[in-house]
Structure 1
Amino acid sequence: MSQKENGVKKKEPSVPTVLKYAFGGIAAVAGSSIMHPMDLFKTRMQITSESVGKKPGIIHVITTAVKEDGIRGLYRGLTGTILRHSIYSTIRLGLFTSGTEYYRNKFDDSPTVVASVFIAIIAGALGSFVSTPADVCLIRMMSDARLPPEERRNYTNVINALTRIVKEEGLLTLWRGAVPTVGRAIVVNTAQLASYGQFRNLSEKYLGLQEGMLLHFAASTGSGLLTATVSLPVDLVKTRIQNMKVINGKPEYRGISDATIKTIRSEGTLALWSGYIPYSLRIVPNTILVFVFLEQLNTLYFKNVLGEVYKSKI
């Protein structure tokens, strides 16, 4: 809560708004770059399940990726990841931290669960829509090696992908899958951002943890597990729509419902969780890295610039 001095509310020290966005983007790009190979494995599992009608194991996907592309191939599409999170996570984390602080200052209390969910939805939806072009490029670059040689797009980097998609398929193709992308972002941000504060409170109350790295780790672990479980089906449908081919002038899927129904009919309901292990191994550590990096950046700013002890504002 805000401090009061002589009956007048004293404004709590905080990170400047521009740095809220910058710290969010830096933390997300760093975490996602480290975890990029797991994102590649997850995407290839989802695409391979679709093309061959069966669920490949994680070991098979990893060994095949290394055999076909080498170690460097594990970072195929990294420029897409960097661009995507430079846009998406800068917006979503910046909006969420700014919105959370605005609520605290206005109501002199931490946001309720409903308020946190609302802020997370707005932040995730806006960030994901703006970054959809980078997401389309990222999915295509990571899945390209799974296509027959004659069908591969062979993008050299994310800028090459952006320009070629616009030239060869039209500008609107960059927003293919925008609806499921926004839907996934709403699910992810609601589960990840809105739950982080709740897991912090639970960790403080039941585990007796105090402000610091261990508390950030515990809270982000719980948030990551919840996020991975509830968001994977939406992520899988989004991936398939963005990677689909147009055959004889007709797209493989007419929309979210069609892609979901076709997946369930051909592969079973559990196919919606294809790639759960690599997805979890990406989402959980990535959530931990993002929140730990973000909290440490805030801690360093409070300590070295404001000369204050940091207490999480997320």
Structure 2
Amino acid sequence: MSQAVAAPPKERYVPNGLKFAFGGLAGMAATCVVQPLDLIKTRMQLSGGGRTSFAVAGEIISREGFLSLYTGLSAGLLRQATYTTTRLGIYNWLFDSYKERNGGTAPGFGIKTVLGITAGSVGAFVGTPAEVALIRMTADGRLPAEQRRNYKNVFNALTRIIKEEGVLKLWRGATPTVGRAMVVNAAQLSTYSQAREVFAAYVAEGITLHFCASMVSGLVTTIASMPVDIIKTRIQNAAKGQSQVEVVTSLLKNEGVFSLWKGFLPYYTRLGPHTVLTFIFLEQMNAAYLKYT
């Protein structure tokens, strides 16, 4: 009598709700580490001079104090709670859904890119209000005292923007923000997944593997997304009444095409570690869930 062959165990997945929660928590934890770099990057993008990252950092500390490097942290955390929660949650959900529909076969690089674009665009739209508050809060210290907005925290910023400028201003620069997110996520999520698969043949599963894949992903993402990011930053910090077209044409006319990569070092030193930390935290949360549940 033939023995019944046991069915292979079904591959386990993290529930969809936790995919979103883990994505947001991972991004928020990474932001707590790299917020000073985000502030320096924003100041450099808004500056017309050719100062180095170290010069800008030194000026901020001497004029505003060391703790000012964490100005806008509340907005950065809200941005991660909205944008990163949405984009990583949607990406992982779409990724797993694809595998389920295709007999466990992971999507190829092209499909990963499409999934990244989709997830990033939705996440960026959701996160634009926090992005506007973040840009304004991190830029405030460079203005003369009488011109500063002096937002107390991200919630004060959002309520004042609604009261003083109207609710639609919370989505100022939404188009370049979504465009940037599409570029970032097409590069970041797809290259991370692809690099992870390549490195897996040489590096054991664990933090080292996640680190290697994240650094590759961060570099590609920085090169591809900087031009859209600086345009987004200028638009969201623009004076009242200045159109988006005026902001972009003024930037290109006065500072040249290469100004679109201004602040490359702080951008990469911010995006690289943030990418590394976000994916490491996310991978550890996923692993802990699968191990202990």
TM-score range, shorter chain: over 0.9
TM-score of the pair, normalised by structure 1: 0.89
Aligned equivalent of 1:265: 253
In structure 1, how many angstroms separate the alpha carbons of the residues matched to 2:64 and 2:200? 45
The offset of 1:264, in angstroms, is 2.3
Aligned equivalent of 1:100: 95
Select which of 165, 169, 173 maps to 2:165. 169
Aligned equivalent of 2:231: 237
Corresponding position: 1:226 with 2:220: yes
In structure 2, how many angstroms separate the alpha carbons of the residues matched to 1:259 and 1:145? 21
Q: Which whole-Å deviations, capped at 9, do the CAs of 1:186-213 have from their partners, x for residues lacking one?
A: 01111100111111122123xx112111
Maintained 8 Å contact 2:132/2:171: yes
Q: How do residues 179-218 of structure 1 correspond to structure 2 at under 5 angstroms?
A: 179-205=175-201, 208-218=202-212
Corresponding position: 1:19 with 2:18: yes
Aligned equivalent of 2:46: 47
In structure 1, how many angstroms separate the alpha carbons of the residues matched to 2:231 and 2:186? 18
Q: Which whole-Å deviations, capped at 9, do the CAs of 1:103-157 have from their partners, x for residues lacking one?
A: 1111120011121111111111111101111100010000001111111100000
The offset of 1:267, in angstroms, is 1.0
Is the partner of 1:13 in helix, strand or coil?
coil
Corresponding position: 1:82 with 2:81: no
Q: How do residues 60-139 of structure 1 correspond to structure 2 at under 5 angstroms?
A: 60-108=55-103, 109-139=105-135
In structure 2, how many angstroms separate the alpha carbons of the residues matched to 1:187 and 1:297? 26
Maintained 8 Å contact 2:86/2:122: yes
Distance 1:265 1:9, change over 3 A: farther
The alignment yields a C-alpha RMSD, in angstroms, of 1.5
In structure 2, how many angstroms separate the alpha carbons of the residues matched to 1:131 and 1:172? 14
Q: Which whole-Å deviations, capped at 9, do the CAs of 1:151-197 have from their partners, x for residues lacking one?
A: 11000001110111111111111110000000010011111001111
In structure 2, how many angstroms separate the alpha carbons of the residues matched to 1:301 and 1:8? 24
Is the partner of 2:47 in helix, strand or coil?
helix
In structure 2, how many angstroms separate the alpha carbons of the residues matched to 1:198 and 1:62? 35
The offset of 1:59, in angstroms, is 1.5
Structure 1 unmatched ranges of 5 or more: 306-314
Letter in 2 for 1:101: D
The offset of 1:262, in angstroms, is 2.7
Corresponding position: 1:254 with 2:249: no
In structure 2, how many angstroms separate the alpha carbons of the residues matched to 1:156 and 1:56? 29
Is the partner of 2:244 in helix, strand or coil?
coil
Structure 2 unmatched ranges of 5 or more: none
Report how many residues are paired: 289
Aligned equivalent of 1:300: 288
Maintained 8 Å contact 2:238/2:247: no
Runs of 4+ in 1 over 3 A off after TM superposition: 5-11, 258-261
Q: Percent identity?
A: 45
Q: Which whole-Å deviations, capped at 9, do the CAs of 1:246-293 have from their partners, x for residues lacking one?
A: 2xxx41x433xx544432221122110011000010000110000011
Aligned equivalent of 2:146: 150
Corresponding position: 1:278 with 2:266: yes
TM-score of the pair, normalised by structure 2: 0.95
In structure 1, how many angstroms separate the alpha carbons of the residues matched to 2:288 and 2:259? 43
In structure 2, how many angstroms separate the alpha carbons of the residues matched to 1:211 and 1:148? 51
Letter in 2 for 1:79: S
The offset of 1:10, in angstroms, is 5.5
Is the partner of 1:35 in helix, strand or coil?
helix
Aligned equivalent of 1:312: none
Bigger CA drift: 117-126 or 237-246? 117-126
The offset of 1:55, in angstroms, is 2.0
Aligned equivalent of 1:308: none
The offset of 1:7, in angstroms, is 9.7
Bigger CA drift: 235-244 or 60-69? 60-69
Q: Which whole-Å deviations, capped at 9, do the CAs of 1:5-38 have from their partners, x for residues lacking one?
A: 9697863111111111111011000001210000
In structure 2, how many angstroms separate the alpha carbons of the residues matched to 1:303 and 1:204? 20
